[in-house]
């Protein structure tokens, strides 16, 4: 067979049974059967994709800026700690 699915491309533990069946068909070279299995689940797959994209947008709009802000604050605090020569442990405290 010329095509193969990388083992890491599909995590079987978290995929629906249809995807497992499609992967099994694919690995046997039964491409029509694999396509048929996935086409029956196409609407569900599209719904999940839309839901995940909305979730990613929410993450990027809400959580990611907060993480960046916290990172900047920790970085500035580390720089200030490095400059605090009155603290005998200034170097180790800045790490």
Tens-place pLDDT, residues 11-55: 544 567 888 999 999 999 999 999 999 999 999 999 999 999 999
Q: Tell me what the mean pLDDT of segment 56-83 comes to.
A: 93
What confidence score (pLDDT) does residue 77 get? 92
Model pTM score: 0.57
Instruction: Give the single-character DSSP code of 41.
Output: T
| Burial tier of 44 (Cβ tally within 10 Å: 0-12, 13-18, 19+) | exposed
């Amino acid at each position: 067979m010329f095509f193969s699915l990388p083992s890491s491309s599909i995590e079987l533990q978290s995929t629906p049974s249809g995807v497992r069946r499609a992967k099994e068909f694919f690995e046997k070279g039964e491409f029509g059967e694999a396509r048929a299995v996935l086409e029956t689940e196409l609407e569900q797959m599209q719904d999940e994709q839309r839901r995940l994209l909305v979730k990613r947008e929410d993450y990027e709009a809400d959580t990611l800026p907060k993480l960046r802000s916290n990172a900047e604050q920790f970085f500035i605090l580390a720089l200030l700690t490095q400059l605090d020569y009155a603290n005998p442990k200034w170097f180790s405290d800045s790490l």
